[in-house]
Structure 1
Amino acid sequence: MTDRNKGYIFAELEVTDPELFYSEYMPRVRPVLDKYQAKFLIASDAPKVLEGDRVVKRIVFIEFESPARADEFYHSKDYQDVIDYRFRSARTHLYMMDGVVPTN
């Protein structure tokens, strides 16, 4: 068990240009995620909203070894070089958060 918390990026997306998103953004972002040892925990095109009045089309939940590593990924030149493909192909709410340090 680790004694430090993980870092996470959570995204709510509505893909507006599937061709651009899946043929240009995804192939470019995958190697960057691999470089930063990111792990996809959830990627769903059918999230079920149990409470609230939001309509969420797609969610992605990615884990990094630490909050600093998640921040490093997001602000890296590698990611910034491909982020425009996402901006042009999807509407996104993106969140960065710290995990909870395990107590046992």
Structure 2
Amino acid sequence: MSAYGFAHLRVRRPHPEILEYLERIQATLDPFGGRFVIHGEPVEVVEGEWPGSMVLLKFPSMERARAWYASPAYQEILHLRTDHIDGDLLLIEGVGPDYDPSERAAKLRARAQQH
């Protein structure tokens, strides 16, 4: 099952280290099968507000996503981003091709009836 790294980057302070981070990150992703799916702006906000920008990474599995984040290569460059950009990074497991949201609704409805 694919997994994703989702980053919501809210406050950016321009700095040369961010450029170095961007130049080096792909080499940290390659050994884990990671790739960029979405990288920043522009965004079209159609509901609500979106302060900042978004990055979406895709990995072959949650295990590979976790291994990438914990890898010495990524940990070495992580501060280049976090020292200059405020944001959140989540690792999220994807859903399969047969995913049906109505099945999730049924499980949630059953759980609510138990309480």
TM-score category by the smaller chain? 0.7 to 0.9
Higher share of residues assigned helix = 2
Please tell me whether residue 21 in structure 1 is matched to residue 22 in structure 2: no
Flag the structure with larger Rg: 2
Which structure has more relative contact order (CA 8 Å, sep 6+)? It is 1
Aligned residues between the structures: 98
Name the SS of the counterpart of 1:81 in structure 2: helix
Please tell me whether residue 96 in structure 1 is matched to residue 97 in structure 2: no
Aligned to 2:60: 65
How far apart are 1:18 and its partner, in Å? 4.0
* Structure 2 residue corresponding to 1:31, chosen from 14, 27, 31: 27
Cα displacement string for residues 26-81 of structure 1 (whole angstroms, at most 9, x for unaligned residues): 1222210122221211112222222233412x211110000111111111111111
Backbone CA RMSD of aligned residues: 1.7
Q: Could you tell me how far apart the structure 1 residues matched to 2:38 and 2:50 are?
A: 19
How far apart are 1:17 and its partner, in Å? 2.1
* Structure 1 residue corresponding to 2:72, chosen from 67, 77, 91: 77
The question of whether the paired residues in 2 share the 8 Å contact of 1:67 and 1:97 is answered with yes
Q: Residue 55 of structure 1 aligns to which amino acid in structure 2?
A: P
Percent of aligned positions that are identical: 29
Q: Residue 66 of structure 1 aligns to which amino acid in structure 2?
A: S
Query: Any runs of at least 4 consecutive aligned residues in structure 1 with deviations exceeding 6 A, and if so which?
Result: none
Unaligned 5+ residue runs, structure 1?
A: none
TM-score (ref. length: structure 1): 0.82
TM-score (ref. length: structure 2): 0.75
How far apart are 1:88 and its partner, in Å? 1.2
